[in-house]
Amino acid sequence: MNLNESTAHELLGLIKEKKTTPEAVHISVKKAIELHDPKVKAYVRVDHDKARPTSRANGKFPIPIAIKDNICIKGREVTCCSRILEGFKPPYNATVIEKILEAEGILIGQANMDEFAFGSSTENSVFGPTRNPWNTKCVPGGSSGGSAAAVAAHEAIWALGSDTGGSIRQPASFCGIVGLKPTYGRVSRYGLIAFASSLDQIGPLTKDVTDNALLLNIIAGHDHRDSTSVNVPVPDYTKSLTKDLKGLKIGIPKEYFIEGLDPEVKFAITAAIELLKKSGVTFKEISLPHTEYAVATYYILATAEASSNLARFDGVQFGQRFQPAAPRKTPIVDMYEETRDRGFGKEAKRRILLGTYSLSSGYYEAYYLRAQKVRTLIKNDFDLAFSELDAILTPTSPTTAFKIGEKSDNPLAMYLSDIYTISANLAGIPAISIPCGFSKDGLPIGLQILAKPFAEEMIFRIAYSYEQSTDWYKRKAPLN
């Protein structure tokens, strides 16, 4: 097997036994990028010179990793795949980058994404879409589609993404890999360019559950520079990778198995439930009664926060500045207007308008404030469920990957593809997507496992046990 097709834990073993070197691993990833990325377009920037492995110290992780283009790397351009940020080079590293550099991880490049993480298909990128390695006519999911495709195409061993409403889990599901949205506050957001600050979390995208636990070990932890990061100890997540699930109770929310759920996805989830029963898990049908309001609540809160976070991009401090050809109003107003008009894409403008509207006087109480209250009801549903359950199991997405262009003119259809992932962000709880089957067209299907805040160990335990009794995660994308 080629080195780039291995997992990090396999590679670390080979390096330790002196059967390979970090340089050889890096070269094999570099070759895969040269070979496949002209088609897949997972990356928007690669920089092999800056990425060279430097040391061979034991206990370090010289693993090539792709970084979503909204996480700041000091001195390297970061754009959120938006025209407005072209040329912006942050003067500091995000905390997760500091941690990866400390672990001697290898930053090979920046992965494509929907502009400012607005989307579910990576089609909203100023650089054009990424293609799904399982079928290049299909989207890889989004917004972390570049990160997921890079790992699935073996153009990276690991990747980091961000998840505001499903942007790690849904592309992981579409690309047949493992993606975790940690508990809100588990991983520092310092240096993550904000979309919706009360929902955003950075998380790992990997080829298997063991790698996911390894990468979370590296990036998790309290950070005084992010006041919403939480000061609870970081366990060694690899310790939770045991196959024993005896006595666990998992809930199946009936609201997630309704119209719109693809029968092939439903079949795969049902089969996963049967398999887990054999490991000693008891299942219970439950109700999360406010589920039907999740999408509406999310799109009010997320757009409100986005409109406020994006106000800073006005041509003054960051990235691009544009002036109209002929003066219209005053030079400063002309500059603001022209910069934001030419700098932002269609979806970003749509969200700024929606968000500004729901925050404006007279509408704030009717929309924003009400959505905040519904958010609490959604969180309460989960609190109640977890008072008697260890985890909840659902599909990650109602469908497998759709065709490029299929939903790009229909924002509402696109928004509905996050129907199963959004609630975890509203409630702040951790959730993972792991491979659990394939459609008859050969597209991956994802299984979502959710648990109470800071119960990532429980998620890993269930995910690992399931993974080890299947071989879905071992299949390789055909790249055609």
Backbone angles phi, psi at 413, to 5 degrees: -60, -40
Can you tell me which of 155, 305, 381, 418 binds ligand GLN, judged by CB under 6 A?
Answer: 418
- Is there binding between residue 301 and ligand GLN (CB under 6 A)? no
Q: Any contact of residue 119 with ligand GLN (CB under 6 A)?
A: yes
Shortest distance (Å) from residue 419 CB to ligand GLN: 10
Please, what is the minimum distance in Å from the beta carbon of residue 70 to ligand GLN? 9
Q: Is 302 in the site for ligand GLN (CB under 6 A)?
A: yes
Amino acid found at 172: A
Number of residues that bind ligand GLN (CB under 6 A): 13
Q: Are 159 and 197 in contact (CB under 8 A)?
A: no
Q: Order of strands, edge to edge, in the sheet holding 391-395?
A: 43-46, 106-111, 64-68, 158-163, 201-206, 178-181, 431-438, 444-450, 391-395, 249-253, 282-286
SS3 108: strand
Buried-exposed string 421-446: b where 16+ CB fall within 10 A, e elsewhere = bbbbbbbbbbbbbbbbbbbeeebbbb
The tokens for 304 are 């409100």
- Closest-approach residue to ligand GLN (CB): 167
Query: Does residue 433 carry a catalytic annotation?
Result: no
Q: Which long-range contacts (CB under 8 A, 24 or more apart) does 373-377 make?
A: 374/290, 374/293, 374/297, 375/297, 375/301, 375/426, 377/290, 377/293
Tell the smallest beta-carbon distance from residue 226 to ligand GLN (Å).
Answer: 18
The residues, any chain, with a CB within 8 Å of residue 59's CB and separated by 6 or more, are none
Decide if residue 129 touches ligand GLN (CB under 6 A).
no
Active site residue 167: yes
Peptide bond into 469 cis (omega under 30): no
Q: Establish if 174 lies at the interface with ligand GLN (CB under 6 A).
A: no
Binding to ligand GLN by residue 465, rule CB under 6 A? no
The answer to whether 147 is a known catalytic residue is no
- With contacts defined by CB under 6 A, name the span among 15-23, 114-122, 272-280, 307-315 that binds ligand GLN: 114-122
Q: With CB under 6 A as the contact rule, which of the stretches 7-15, 163-171, 251-259, 369-377 interacts with ligand GLN?
A: 163-171
**HSE value, Cβ hemisphere, 13 Å, CA-based, for 58:** 4
Q: How far is the CB of 59 from ligand GLN (least distance, A)?
A: 33
Q: Binding to ligand GLN by residue 398, rule CB under 6 A?
A: no
For residue 167, state whether it binds ligand GLN (rule: CB under 6 A): yes
Would you count residue 420 as binding ligand GLN (CB under 6 A)?
A: no
Contacts of 112 (CB under 8 A, 6+ apart): 41, 42, 43, 44, 69, 81, 122, 125, 127, 129, 130, 145, 146, 149
Q: Which is nearer to ligand GLN, 20 or 228 (CB)?
A: 228
Identified binder of ligand GLN from the candidate list 143, 147, 358, 399, rule CB under 6 A: 143
- The tokens 């049967």 sit on which residue? 274
| β-strand partners of 132 | 135
Q: Taking contact as CB under 6 A, which single stretch among the options 78-86, 115-123, 221-229, 471-479 is the one that binds ligand GLN? A: 115-123
Q: Does 221 bind ligand GLN (CB under 6 A)?
A: no
Closest CB to ligand GLN among residues 113, 157: 113
**By CB under 6 A, residue 433 contacts ligand GLN:** no
Is 117 near ligand GLN (CB under 6 A)? yes
CB atoms within 10 A of CB 198: 17
Is position 164 an interface residue for ligand GLN (rule: CB under 6 A)?
yes
- Listed ranges 118-126, 330-338, 376-384, 443-451: which one lies at the site for ligand GLN (CB under 6 A): 118-126
> Which of 61, 88, 118, 237 forms a contact with ligand GLN (CB under 6 A)?
118
If you count them, how many residues does the chain have?
480
Are 121 and 415 a contacting pair, CB within 8 Å?
no
Selecting among 68, 181, 207, 407, the annotated active-site residue is 68
Q: CB–CB of 165/418 below 8 Å?
A: yes
Catalytic residues: 68, 143, 167
Residues that bind ligand GLN (CB under 6 A): 117-120, 143, 163-167, 195, 302, 418
